[in-house]
Amino acid sequence: MKGRFILSIITLLLPVLGAAQAAPARLAVRMDDMGAFHSVNSAIMDVCAGGISQSVEIMPVGQWYPEAVKMLSDAPGIDAGVHLAITSEWEHAKWRPLTHCPSLVDSMGYFRPMMKPNDAYPGLSVKEAGYDIDEVEREFRAQIERARKDVPALSHISDHMGSASVFPEIDSLVHRLAQEYNLPFIDAPDKKSMGFRRVNYTSPSGGKGPHRTLAEKEESFINMLRTLRPGQSYMFLEHPAYDDAEMAPIFHIGNENVGADRQGVTDLFKSERVRKALRDCNVQLIQISDLF
């Protein structure tokens, strides 16, 4: 009798267990730096129209921000985050703040290139130069309010080069702003508590995978998909652009082949091989806003 009762319970539980095992992993594919360049804007919209991502991070300080706003207004349904920046890393193209913040800029009025010390740019980091936290707050508020006004689909806050999360004092500030503006800060050091995990290109052994060429990107991205657990949520971020004349002179020391690398990202996000792997690995694509 007892055995039949246990068997009955198991029989009843089997459909539930089967459904749990079949629950897909959930992956938000994030595209950073919209507004930085026309090439970036165009590639991002290309992916949104025919690729695996519908989530973008827009930079109000970027020189191509107005175009990015127009593109998003013409394509409702794309999820957007405000990408807070107080650095401007590229040679030959620089960003200025929206507010008066002398502690955050160089002698020409541009943001400094790095957050933390970098041997290639001695003395040119925010950490080395210092910052006025009141100026940081004023600048971040201006960027958030600009994006809220221009991008109705704004759902969260992210940061550029760790501008909002590298230093505890600034991280605390952004947590406070995130709560005030009701925009979750998805790059917070404690993002695991938000219910998702960031993932990266992955090698067969589980470490960071090679991603120089498109073939390497595809292989390492698919390796990452194979590690995702059913029912869990993840975020992968990258930087699409085209390998075109606009991106040809864009670099900083230590990152010289920007156009070619970011063309590979664009192609990765439109890859049929990747689409097949998503199906084979039972991975559901979601937007950033679906993570919280």
Give buried/exposed letters for 107-142 (b at 16+ CB in 10 A, else e).
eeebbbbbbeebeebeeebbeeeebeeebbbbbbbb
Is beta strand 79-84 parallel, antiparallel or unpaired with respect to 55-58?
parallel
Per-residue pLDDT of the chain (292 residues; tens, 9 = 90+): 555 544 444 444 444 444 445 799 999 999 999 999 999 999 999 999 999 999 999 999 999 999 999 999 999 999 999 999 999 999 999 999 999 999 999 999 999 999 999 999 999 999 999 999 999 999 999 999 999 999 988 999 999 999 998 899 999 999 999 999 999 999 987 656 789 999 999 999 999 999 999 999 999 999 999 999 999 999 999 999 999 999 999 999 999 999 999 999 999 999 999 999 999 999 999 999 999 8
pLDDT of residue 21: 55
CATH number belonging to domain 24-291: 3.20.20.370
263 contacts 248 by C-beta, under 8 angstroms: no
* Distance, CA of 232 to CA of 253 (rounded, Å): 37
Is the full-model pTM beyond 0.95?
no
88 contacts 58 by C-beta, under 8 angstroms: no
163 alpha carbon, distance to own chain's centre: 13
Within 154-288, where are the H helices?
168-181, 214-227, 258-269, 272-280
